[in-house]
Amino acid sequence: MSIHLVPESERAPGVGHIAPLRLPAARLPYAARASRLQHLAQGHAMAEYLLWAAELASAQQATAEALPLPGPEAAGLAAALQQRTQTPLHSALWPRSAHWLALLDELLNRMAQQPRMQTAAIRQAWARLQQADTARREAWADALLTALRSEAPGEDAALPEAGVAQLLWSALSLYWRQLASQLPAAGRAEPGEQRHLCPVCGHVPTGSLVLAGAQAGVRYLQCSLCECQWHVVRSQCSNCDSTHALDYWCLEDEKAPIKAESCNDCQTYLKAFYQQADHLLELVADDLASLALDAEMEDKELARSGINPLMLPLLT
């Protein structure tokens, strides 16, 4: 099954209905993410990085509040949805407006005021972006988005260095989240493949969220770019769609709130976050704070199928 987007009027609600797609809420997540990162940093071996990430999330919050998606661009989303019901905001096809560059400039200005942004590596990346003209920034963005879709780059593509890539992604993900949160659409499950990719923008997930409450046990994957969440049944590998047995790994006991789900068919894993075990979980923050579990999975020679937007993988 794949997920197509349809106008909101075609949505099929009902008691016990599992929405195929959950668009990002209008309420911004970055302040709560920053707070969770600050909490997780207490006594953590990676405390400095978690606190740095908290400052980055705070800068994203302030940037999003200062520069919401312009009205004309939001109004054009309905037309885009009529043209493409599958991945209407695909990052290879969506014509980025100048708004994302304004978000990048505002983000850089906000970051310049943060104490943990003063390290040599971050200052160097910050300076590189400040000095780059629009054409260079756009070229870097194209190359970065292509690489993180695991596609072959063009002949002339030049990937940005790691620090520049991290700051670029922070602005790009903010832009795509603004777009996705304004989509006048709902999801509809239809026959198809590639359930492991976001049905809105075409990128891989960060992890999976297993709900609590009335829909306890229902699993959603959360996109690493636009932060949409889409439903995938738990009996299916989130990477290759295999329905063979999946293994679950954790560092604590079987009731741990964070587990790694691995597949023997494709030799990959993705972390799952269980709200019932910890209702304070914030998927991006808790994923970053549980890299010890990733290290264990790498020791088992399993490849991670997801990306954390606050710690991009090495790009080649």
User: pLDDT tens digits for 191-232?
Assistant: 555 678 999 999 999 999 999 988 899 999 999 999 999 999
Residues 6+ apart with CB under 8 A from 120: none
Question: To 10 degrees, the CA torsion angle through 145, 147, 148, 149?
Answer: 90
The enclosing H or E element of 22 equals strand 21-22
Same-domain pairing of 171 and 224: no
What token pair was written down for 240?
């290759």
Same-domain pairing of 104 and 214: no
Same-domain pairing of 152 and 41: yes
Residue with tokens 């088992």: 300
Q: Which of 151, 185, 219 is the last residue of a domain?
A: 185
What mean pLDDT comes out for the span 58-65? 96
Which CATH number characterizes residue 268's domain?
Answer: 3.90.1670.10
Same-domain pairing of 65 and 102: yes
Q: Which of 185, 212, 234 is the last residue of a domain?
A: 185
What token pair was written down for 4?
């197509």
Mean pLDDT (the chain) is: 90
Within a domain: 41? yes
Same-domain pairing of 248 and 99: no
Reported residue count of the chain is: 316
Same-domain pairing of 174 and 38: yes
Distance CA 174, CA 206 (A): 15
pLDDT of residue 65: 96
Q: Are 179 and 204 in contact (CB under 8 A)?
A: no
Distance CA 285, CA 46 (A): 12
Q: Which of 185, 218, 234 is the last residue of a domain?
A: 185
Same-domain pairing of 38 and 73: yes
Domain coverage including residue 103: 26-185
Domain count for the chain: 2
- 291-315 confidence digits (pLDDT tens): 999 999 999 999 999 999 999 988 7
Same-domain pairing of 70 and 157: yes
- 123-159 confidence digits (pLDDT tens): 999 999 999 999 999 999 999 999 999 888 777 778 9
pTM: 0.91
Within a domain: 6? no
Using only C-alpha atoms, what is the Rg of the chain?
A: 19
**Pairing mode, if any, of strands 258-263 and 246-249?**
antiparallel
